[in-house]
Amino acid sequence: MSAYYLEHANVDHIQKHFDDFEEEARSLLSLGLPIPAYDQVLKASHAFNILDSRGFVGVTERARYFGRMRSLARQCSQLWLKTREEIGYPLGTYQEANLVYPHVSEKLSRKEVLGQAQTFVLEIGTEELPPHDVVEATEQLEKSLVQILGKRRLSHGKVHTYGTPRRLAVVVENLCLKQMEEEVELRGPPVAKAFDQEGKPTKAAEGFCRKNNVPVDSLYKKIDGKTEYIYARVKESARYADEVLSEDLPTIISGISFPKSMRWNSNIVFSRPVRWIMALHGDLVVPFSFAGISSGSQSCGLRNSSLANFKVETAESYLHTVEKAGIVIDVQERRAKILDDSSTLARGVDGDFIAPDSLLQEVDFLFYFAYFYGLKLEIILKYLKPQLRLLILWRRLCPFLVDMMIPS
């Protein structure tokens, strides 16, 4: 089949098939038959894949073909919903899950947080992310979290970010257990509106005092610009870090932007679907939910391994636990391993290791382990190099390549 798709498929015939499948799908849609119409859309998609494998589809044509198929698929979906509605939804309707988000109990929080500052870790597990998305998302994650910690009066130490194909992680050293108390000055309404002609407080002044839980006699006056206002000093109470983070972490995650995003699960927008969330402050789970996923202490390792799912006991043990699961989470360590292994393989066949920086930056977030293969030059250059992001080991008349295993 490979020879057919790559070399012998008649482009003119396949293009005609695509047009025929498209026309048949439109005809079936006009007859109110969404399922047969969708079957024709799938056939058109297969025809497009053959054209693409034969190298017939350019960048502009690709966008046009995708647009045609996407339009048909949308019409099939809309017609399917319409027919379901007309016959009273015989298979039932989807109900939004009534998620009960976990909350930290008062007793548990107070018991667990007695002690020194502890490490905090947030890990967002997803389906495989594009390499450039990992880089951009980890940078945004660090920036947003540092801003929130400062705004929320949560002192902390160094902040480290990590990224792999299936996870975005941030580790905060020595995150305090409780906010610092702070006294702030709040401005109220202008004096002219806060007191009447007899000097008695108006409803505006009373409302300001009631809102901020301060007595009227604690108010004082200050000029701001050309207007005199009433002010009050209010001491903001110190809340526990896990309570504050539970409120802010969903906002931080939803605020991460990507060049191209997906929508799923009630229109949640992210680069790829989120599959798990781990959030720990010391050994305490920071409870919140995002995209229908509740945070916990569980993470995921390499697929089809004995540690495909594992528990992280404490935030301090996160990096060690992930390493035991076979994940090289630090990008610098990962790059060093790829370079060392590839160079060793190159020396083993008396070859030179060709590693463009642009390709290495992409490979950093695609693979972990290097393997050695010997293949014919024509196969490497024509088919494998552009599709598989291969690093070439070159020796006159005897090319080799380094392949990478997709980790998790």
361, 318, 323, 360: which is closest to 342 by C-alpha? 360
φ/ψ of residue 176, rounded to 5: -60, 155
For range 232-236, the mean pLDDT: 86
Residue 254 lies in a domain: yes
Provide the residue count of the chain.
408
The strand ranges marked E within 302-390 are: 309-311, 352-353, 369-374
Q: How far is CA 362 from CA 131, 134, 172, in A?
A: 6, 10, 26
Are residues 278 and 174 part of one domain?
yes
373, 361, 367: which is closest to 405 by C-alpha? 367
Specify the CATH number for the domain of residue 270: 3.30.70
Are residues 391 and 258 part of one domain?
no
Residue 113 lies in a domain: no
Note the pLDDT of residue 337.
Answer: 82
Residue finishing a domain among 213, 236, 259: 236
Neighbouring CB atoms inside 10 A of 25's CB total 28
Q: How many domains does the chain have?
A: 4
For range 61-87, the mean pLDDT: 93
Q: Is 245 exposed, middle or buried (0-12, 13-18, 19+ CB in 10 A)?
A: buried
Are residues 269 and 141 part of one domain?
yes
Specify the CATH number for the domain of residue 72: 1.20.58.180
133, 161, 199: which is closest to 365 by C-alpha? 133
Q: Is 146 exposed, middle or buried (0-12, 13-18, 19+ CB in 10 A)?
A: middle
pLDDT tops 80 at residue 221 = yes
Residue 93 lies in a domain: no
pLDDT by residue (tens digit) across 124-150? 999 999 989 999 999 999 999 999 999
The confidence band for 376, taking pLDDT boundaries of 50, 70 and 90, is: low
Residue 394 lies in a domain: yes
Residue 169 lies in a domain: yes
Q: In this structure, are residues 79 and 29 in contact, taking their beta carbons and an 8 Å threshold? A: yes
Are residues 168 and 66 part of one domain?
no
Neighbouring CB atoms inside 10 A of 333's CB total 11
Are residues 252 and 137 part of one domain?
yes
Are residues 352 and 319 part of one domain?
no
3-state per-residue secondary structure call for 234-286? EEECCCEHHHHHHHHHHHHHHCCCCCCCEEECCCEEECCCEEEEEEEECCEEC
Structure-token pair, residue 79: 């017609």
Residue finishing a domain among 269, 302, 325: 325
Q: Which alpha helices (DSSP H) does 123-240 contain, by range?
A: 131-151, 191-194, 203-212
Are residues 383 and 265 part of one domain?
no
> Higher-confidence residue: 1 or 210?
210
Structure-token pair, residue 120: 């905090």
Are residues 264 and 131 part of one domain?
yes
Are residues 211 and 172 part of one domain?
no
Are residues 191 and 173 part of one domain?
no
Residue 106 lies in a domain: no
pLDDT by residue (tens digit) across 9-32? 899 999 999 999 999 999 999 999
Question: Following CA atoms 347, 351, 356, 359 in sequence, which dihedral angle do they give, to the nearest 10 degrees?
Answer: -80
For range 187-201, the mean pLDDT: 91
Dihedral sign for Cα atoms in the order 155, 157, 161, 167: negative
Q: What is the DSSP letter of 217?
A: G
Q: In this structure, are residues 290 and 309 in contact, taking their beta carbons and an 8 Å threshold? A: no
Residue finishing a domain among 302, 325, 348: 325
The confidence band for 380, taking pLDDT boundaries of 50, 70 and 90, is: low
Are residues 369 and 396 part of one domain?
yes
Note the pLDDT of residue 108.
Answer: 43
Residue 289 lies in a domain: yes
For range 96-113, the mean pLDDT: 43
Note the pLDDT of residue 366.
Answer: 78
The confidence band for 381, taking pLDDT boundaries of 50, 70 and 90, is: low
Tell me which amino acid residue 168 is.
Answer: L
For range 232-246, the mean pLDDT: 89
139, 136, 167, 147: which is closest to 261 by C-alpha? 136
pLDDT tops 50 at residue 101 = no
Residue 108 lies in a domain: no
Q: In this structure, are residues 334 and 135 in contact, taking their beta carbons and an 8 Å threshold? A: no
The confidence band for 102, taking pLDDT boundaries of 50, 70 and 90, is: very low
Instruction: Give the residue numbers spanning the domain of 270.
Output: 118-179+240-325
Are residues 351 and 262 part of one domain?
no
Note the pLDDT of residue 105.
Answer: 40
Q: How far is CA 271 from CA 20, 109, 127, 330, in A?
A: 34, 34, 9, 21
